[in-house]
Structure 1
Amino acid sequence: MILIRSALFNCGLLGSAIFFSLLTPLLLPFPYSIRFNIIKGFALFNVASLKWLCGVGYRIDGLENLPAGPGVLLSKHQSAWETLAFQKFFPPHSWLLKRELIWIPFLGWGLWMMRAIAIDRSAGRKALKLLIEKGKKRLQQGQWVMIFPEGTRVPPGTRGTYHQGGAVLASKAAVPVVPIAHNAGQFWPKGSFLKYPGTVRIVVGPAIDPAGKSSSEITREVEEWIESKMEEISS
């Protein structure tokens, strides 16, 4: 049944991706807030579909920790699930992602319309400079910035290298950092066709004020909070 349910979900995912890809170019004349709310319908549909077809639900705690104004969201990255579900839970935000995704037909259009920050990961300091430049602009426009500090999806029970880009951006823009832990990889593993029933736990941590802290100190604080929370919600 898991195979059949997963196959049905993937068919719906593909079909909705085609529909929203064709819809996206028509939204170009509209303001960003309208584009975001329409395009996130893709995410809302598939999060609901995943729960109904595959039994993958969710529980989120700590939303009261979100500051009133925009900030930098630094999240654990285990699955494709959070790239969908986070659009449901969090205010309009821009993703930091590798620029190759923008080049993908249809998908890239949607990411561009959502004001994603696309960087060349191999560019080193140039990539960091671009993140700060575009990230500050997004924050000044009232958008949040979503970053996976490990840079890529990591399997449950493992820890990647936490990069300092998000902390640097928060310091330069003088906005808070909000850490996020979740265990979505247990139910929708990286690269897996199968989706396993269960409840994804998402925990939003207390906001971190970057004032008076170095980017390495902020990153270390984020890492310690996320990884300690991962042990708690994954047990």
Structure 2
Amino acid sequence: MKFFWFIRSVLFSVGQLSSLVFFSVIGLGLIPFSHRVRYQFIHYWAKFCIWWLKVTCGLTYTVHNKERIDLTQTGLVLARHESAWETLAFQSIFPQQTFVLKKELLKIPFFGWGLAMLNPISIDRNAGRKAIKQVVEEGVDRIQHGVWVVIFPEGTRIAAGEFAKIKGGGALLAQKAQAPVYLVGHNAGDFWPKNSFIKRPGNIDVYISEPFDAAEMTVAEINQKTEEWFLTHSSIRRSEDEKGRVDNT
């Protein structure tokens, strides 16, 4: 069975990489155009990959409560990050968007070129408060210009069943953005694990919270709300003692 999954994963990777080269090279010709034009082109690569993942690996997904997304207002998404899957699938789930990511990713040939066309908020993760200030200032600017912002508040990909401390940058942006905030949990790590080449067949469940206004909430309250959503709507499995610690903080 694992050998069969490996062969299917090879087929997916061949299609993913070859299409990446195509979209990145063609996309370079769109640099003089607006961000919206560049996004409309490059986001089709993500949609192709999700379709190709279904064809080759038998991996699909279901979005629960998609009707909660208010398309009349630009929003902020605080999402669980378990694999590379969500960076692709969110292109189909949410309107025009960009991500907060580490600036080193932009240096990767072809892949980095494509990311650059999404006008990301690229930060130096070692810059501390300076990086947080950048996230808030650029995040507010993107939202004011009609571009949704996606942040993974745990800071990096976290293996299914594990948990990392929620960082404050996303909560600070939520306070300042004057935009609806959505929490997103999922179990992508059960099928496309962190740093794994093998993609298992199955169906990923994505859970979207009701939008909420974080302007009057504290950073601790926002992070608590985010952690609880991830806890109950993702691959995270924690002991009763840990759950009690969260409930009492």
Does TM-score exceed 0.5, indicating one fold? yes
Q: Distance in 2 between matches of 1:231 and 1:121?
A: 25
Match of 1:16 in 2: 19
TM-superposed deviation, 1:231: 6.1
Could you tell me which of 194, 209, 212 is aligned with 2:198? 194
Q: Distance in 2 between matches of 1:108 and 1:2?
A: 28
Unaligned runs of 5+ in 1: none
Residue pairs, 1:76-225, within 5 angstroms: 76-225=80-229
User: What is the SS of the residue equivalent to 2:29?
Assistant: helix
Please give the per-residue CA displacement for 1:163-197, whole angstroms capped at 9, x wherever unaligned.
12111012112222100011011111111111100
**Alignment size in residue pairs:** 233
Q: Distance in 2 between matches of 1:231 and 1:99?
A: 28
Could you tell me which of 63, 67, 71 is aligned with 1:64? 67
Q: Is the 8 A contact 1:74 1:178 kept in 2?
A: yes
Please give the per-residue CA displacement for 1:115-146, whole angstroms capped at 9, x wherever unaligned.
10000011000001111111111011011100
Q: Percent identity?
A: 45
Q: Distance in 2 between matches of 1:130 and 1:51?
A: 37
Please give the per-residue CA displacement for 1:45-99, whole angstroms capped at 9, x wherever unaligned.
1100110111001111111222331121010100111111111111111100001
Q: Is the 8 A contact 2:230 2:236 kept in 1?
A: no
Unaligned runs of 5+ in 2: 238-249
RMSD of Structure 2 on Structure 1 (CA): 1.5
Q: Which amino acid aligns with 2:13?
A: N
Q: Distance in 2 between matches of 1:46 and 1:88?
A: 11
Could you tell me which of 18, 43, 46 is aligned with 1:43? 46
TM-superposed deviation, 1:38: 1.0
User: What is the SS of the residue equivalent to 1:179?
Assistant: strand
Q: Distance in 2 between matches of 1:232 and 1:161?
A: 13
Q: Is the 8 A contact 2:160 2:235 kept in 1?
A: no
Q: Which amino acid aligns with 1:220?
A: Q
